[in-house]
Structure 1
Amino acid sequence: MVTVGSLLEELARREAVARQRIAEIREQIAALESRLEDEHDRLSRLVITRETVEEILGEAAELAGESMETAELAGGGIDAVGAVPVRPPVLGVATVPPWRPGITAAMLPRAYRGRGRDHGRCRAGVAGWADRGGDGLAG
């Protein structure tokens, strides 16, 4: 037979268990809200980064388009050295043309010209510019 006292004790025990579950769920919710806020911040940074890159690439594409028009008007689409057709540059990439007689360091992208001969050789050596006598790498 169940007494009123034992029934009330059982109800109190169940209430305590329910309160404990509620507290645990609230902790989980707080942790999830924190994670959610972190992910919102990360998403915001990624969106801003993407928009900035698109803006930069858009400006570079406009400049490349203007360069192509200028090159085509000036030389009919032909590079003066070696009669090589002018191609649009790859956005965000500075390429170094392979060395051949007659071209100078002035034809290198600015970043590859260097301040001194050794500096220029280090950066442009990959394209065959190193060990070329009188090639103007000291720029």
Structure 2
Amino acid sequence: MQHDPFGNLVDWGEALDRFEELVDSGRLAECQPGLIRVLRFKGNWRLREEVLKHAGEIQTPTIALISEVLSILADDNVYYDARVMAGDALIDLLKNVHAEKTDEMVWGVKKVVEKLMHTIHPPFFDDALSRVHEKILAPYALEN
């Protein structure tokens, strides 16, 4: 499997078809560099949203993928719906991180989420931040 099988992201139809094939076959984890490229590409919102919707299905997420999803959550230049999707994806991705990487990732997410929680946002985005905090950060703080 190619690490980036998506080709030209401007041709979103073909890239979306390829993405759906990977979802159906359970092979998303094999192409995380390509998923990161999709998430960084601002010219194809539909494909970006599909990646965010399915990112949590990856059982072995890389730190790079989690970091890219976190950067979408934190980016004030990204529309709120995508940022909410990024928060939901983070919840699932962090549950799938191997134990040896958990501390590093959780503390990075904690720093970003707490900063975001201290700024003014629409209520639905505040709710998304609260979900990340409640499902990932708060339980982790109790365990450590």
Note whether the superposition's TM-score is higher than 0.5: no
Q: Which of the two has higher C-alpha Rg?
A: 1
Q: Considering Cα pairs closer than 8 Å and 6+ residues apart, tell me whether 1 or 2 has the greater RCO.
A: 2
